[in-house]
Amino acid sequence: MGISMNRLSIVVCAVLWLCSAYLAHAQVQTTVQVLETYPTGDEVTLVRNQNFYLRLRYATDHPIQIWAEPYFKGQRANAGSNPSRTYAGNGEALGWFFLMDADAQVDEVRIRAGDGSPKGTHEVARYAVRVQGSDAAANGADKPEWVERMSALDAQAQRADYERRMNEPVSASTIALYNGFMLSMLALALLGFAAPAWGLWRWRGGWRLACAVPAVLMAFVVLRIIAGTAIDPTSHNLWPFEVLIAGALSSAAMAVLAIARRVWPGRRA
């Protein structure tokens, strides 16, 4: 019994050691460090339309994306930050952010890496720097070579990714889903016209008067679109959605009236 317990203890210890080694390895799969920044210095003032750039070095054993996010007093700063392309292996990445207004401040940059999902993205580094905004105009100073070079690489990668996605064949299921959605929307818009017209033809008394309300709504929307585009052809570029929304309201109103007419068949609306 003692020998068996000793063997069991050895096995348990070995399993625990393997698990801890695996977790330690998983935690160091991705590393990111800040090589330099522009503008330089521990305290920086950003003028209008100026970005704060970070030159990053990364090492990863799986594809990741990298974001440099500005913070002030532990809260996300009032600033916009860079999107990210996908990185793999070892190399350099460009992070940047800009202040949304002249009163915004930053006291640290938190660098996150991962796949973009809450569980798959983690903070991998922090960089302490004091950044504040200014209403002053840009002085037109040239950016460092690494900023221009890495910005061009990011733009090139974004174009290549866009072209790749545009050239990907659309699957039959996607086409069917899109066509089904469009047909459903068209049917809903047509129902918005047809349901009040049917009610005006079949119903009598107050019910006919009630179903005239969604009919007037549909007529008003259509006439508004026609009149608006006659004055300004660009005023109703999203007119199908306007008709769709009106059709949904009209159909809902007619459904309520139909239910009410069945519940109180002998009453006038």
Return the pLDDT at 126.
95
**Residue of 71, 92, 89 whose CA lies nearest to 147:** 92
% pLDDT > 90, the chain: 37
Q: What is the pLDDT of residues 65-114, one digit of tens each?
A: 999 999 999 999 999 999 999 999 999 999 999 999 888 999 999 999 99
Return the pLDDT at 250.
87
pTM listed for this prediction? 0.57
Return the pLDDT at 4.
53
- And the tokens for 72? 């002030």
Return the pLDDT at 2.
46
**Residue of 75, 89, 87 whose CA lies nearest to 116:** 87
Return the pLDDT at 21.
46
Q: What is the pLDDT of residues 101-141, one digit of tens each?
A: 888 999 999 999 999 888 889 999 999 999 999 888 777 67
Return the pLDDT at 104.
92
Ranges of each domain in the chain: 26-167, 172-263
Return the pLDDT at 242.
85
Topology of the domain comprising 26-167 = Immunoglobulin-like (2.60.40)
Inter-CA distances, 204 with 178, 214, 216, 258, 269, Å: 40, 16, 17, 13, 10
**pLDDT confidence tier of residue 142, bands split at 50, 70 and 90:** confident
Higher pLDDT, 188 or 269: 188
Contacts of 79 (CB under 8 A, 6+ apart): 70, 97, 98, 99, 100, 104, 106
